[in-house]
């Protein structure tokens, strides 16, 4: 089973399209696997930085760098807190049959054909969802220091919608 998260509760079919953020990509339907779906437990346009150890030997470096024993660290700007509190997401369950792994990012899958969802479930408390999953959710005034720390070969990371983050300052 694969998933798609949206703020739209009434998608009847996912049609292949070219993403605005990646105009060289061929038209595709995008989905995420269960291990990576926490990357999308945010309002759609919310900038975020996430990091996690991929294998056991990365855990000690990860714990020391992020000062946590959580299985993942997610960070978002405090300016997005109200949206995080109020946004309802819809988790669409998609049949995996037509999807292939997208080689540019782990956990992401693409299909070249129209995909009809099997189920849609509303997700309303995104902060609680993080807490229940044992994710260290950090609400920070400036996302750039977390961005710079997360970018490493020492652990897995994902950085989404940084174009919506506050501009980098001399101090960040």
Kindly report, residue by residue over 77-136, the tens digit of the pLDDT. Answer: 999 999 999 999 999 999 999 999 998 888 999 999 999 999 999 999 999 999 999 999
Both structure tokens of 122: 């509303």
Question: pLDDT confidence of 20, banded at 50, 70, 90?
Answer: confident
Confirm whether 21 is domain-assigned.
Answer: no
Confirm whether 15 is domain-assigned.
Answer: no
Looking at the DSSP assignment, which residues form a beta bridge with residue 110?
A: 30, 100
Question: pLDDT confidence of 51, banded at 50, 70, 90?
Answer: very high
**With 80 as the cut, is the pLDDT of residue 22 above it?**
yes
**With 90 as the cut, is the pLDDT of residue 148 above it?**
yes
Q: How many angstroms separate the Cα of 59 from the Cα of each of 68, 105, 154?
A: 10, 21, 9
Which residue is listed with tokens 């309303």?
A: 124
Determine how β-strand 135-140 pairs with β-strand 72-77.
parallel
**Average predicted confidence (pLDDT) for the chain:** 96
Number of domains in the chain: 1
pLDDT at 60: 96
Confirm whether 22 is domain-assigned.
Answer: no
Mean pLDDT of 141-158: 96
**With 90 as the cut, is the pLDDT of residue 165 above it?**
yes
- Considering the chain, what percentage of its residues have pLDDT values greater than 90? 92
Task: List Cβ neighbours of 4 (8 Å cut-off, separation of 6 or more).
Answer: 11, 14, 29, 30, 31, 32, 91, 92, 94, 117
Confirm whether 155 is domain-assigned.
Answer: yes
pLDDT at 105: 84
pLDDT at 125: 96
Domain hosting residue 106, numbered range: 2-8+28-164
Confirm whether 156 is domain-assigned.
Answer: yes
Task: List Cβ neighbours of 45 (8 Å cut-off, separation of 6 or more).
Answer: 161, 164
Confirm whether 18 is domain-assigned.
Answer: no
Model confidence pTM above 0.85: yes
């Amino acid at each position: 089973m694969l998933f798609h998260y949206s703020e739209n509760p009434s998608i009847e079919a996912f049609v292949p399209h070219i993403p605005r953020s990646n105009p060289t990509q061929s038209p595709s339907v995008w989905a995420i696997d269960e291990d990576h779906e926490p990357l999308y437990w945010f309002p759609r346009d919310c900038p975020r930085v996430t990091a996690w150890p991929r294998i056991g030997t990365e855990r000690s470096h990860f714990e020391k760098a992020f000062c946590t024993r959580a299985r993942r660290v997610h960070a978002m700007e405090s300016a997005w807190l109200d949206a995080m509190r109020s946004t309802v997401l819809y988790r669409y369950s998609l049949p995996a049959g037509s999807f292939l792994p997208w080689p540019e990012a782990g956990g992401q899958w693409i299909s070249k054909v129209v995909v009809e969802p099997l189920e849609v479930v509303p997700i309303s408390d995104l902060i609680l969802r993080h807490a229940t999953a044992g994710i260290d959710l950090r609400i920070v005034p400036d996302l750039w220091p977390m961005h710079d720390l997360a970018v490493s070969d020492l652990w897995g990371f994902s950085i989404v919608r940084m174009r919506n983050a506050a501009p980098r300052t001399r101090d960040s």
